[in-house]
Chain A
Amino acid sequence: AQSVAQPEDQVNVAEGNPLTVKCTYSVSGNPYLFWYVQYPNRGLQFLLKYITGDNLVKGSYGFEAEFNKSQTSFHLKKPSALVSDSALYFCAVRPHTGGFKTIFGAGTRLFVKA
């Protein structure tokens, strides 16, 4: 079955330190990969996507993600965390087959401490 895993329910990091939020997937073929952020009581906001090409993708608010085909991973990163980055982050995968179904991970809560 096709799936997306975000192995950490919560990530804690100090402000100014680098952050990584992990995502691995299990789908056939070469999927489209996405990251979203959700602030409390808000809808999900699109951060970045990988379609093809350079494995390092840059997105909004200084975030980037690295696609690793051999490890089927798409980890979200930021060189220097801000307290305002504290939010819920979702990884999502859209297989090239399977209709119109994008698969979302369960989410990882990021806490950035001042």
Chain B
Amino acid sequence: SQTIHQWPATLVQPVGSPLSLECTVEGTSNPNLYWYRQAAGRGLQLLFYSVGIGQISSEVPQNLSASRPQDRQFILSSKKLLLSDSGFYLCAWSWQGNWYTIYFGEGSWLTVV
């Protein structure tokens, strides 16, 4: 079966510091990968998605970037965090063979102070 791992679960970072959130998927190959942000416990905002290694599409211009160095690894980064980057970040994956059903990781709480 497929599983998705996302870490760290929580982190508190000062303004101006770098960020790295990591996500890996097991049990599948060539998944589509996603980073979402959820503000105030409600709506989801798609930040980035990737259909293959090195292929990243950005949905919202912002202070963040994403990379996919390996088939099942997706990384969300920032060189200098802003207060507005605080939120709940969710990694997710989907696969054509399952009608692109999206499966989510457990999320990472980021607080920028």
Contacts and interface: CB of A to CB of B under 8 A. Distances in A.
A106 B92 CA distance: 18
A46 B100 CA distance: 12
B100 A44 contact: no
A34 B43 contact: no
Contacts of B100: 32, 94, 100, 102
Interface string A10-49: 0000000000000000000000101010001111111001
B49 A100 contact: yes
B28 interface: no
Contact of A41 (B6, B32, B46, B109): B109
Contact of A102 (B41, B90, B102, B109): B102
A90 B32 CA distance: 20
Interface range on chain B: under 10, 10 to 19, 20 to 34, or 35 or more? 20 to 34
Interface residues of A, number: 22
Interface of A is mostly: strand
Nearest to A103: B46
A100 B43 contact: no
A104 interface: yes
A103 to B, nearest CB: 9
A41 B89 CA distance: 11
B49 A44 contact: no
Interface string B42-57: 1110100101000000
Interface of A: 32, 34, 36, 40-46, 49, 51, 88, 90, 92, 94, 100-102, 104, 106-107
6 contacts: A40-B41, A41-B107, A44-B44, A45-B104, A94-B100, A104-B43
User: 6 shortest A-B CB distances, which residue pairs?
Assistant: A43-B104, A44-B104, A106-B43, A43-B106, A104-B44, A43-B107
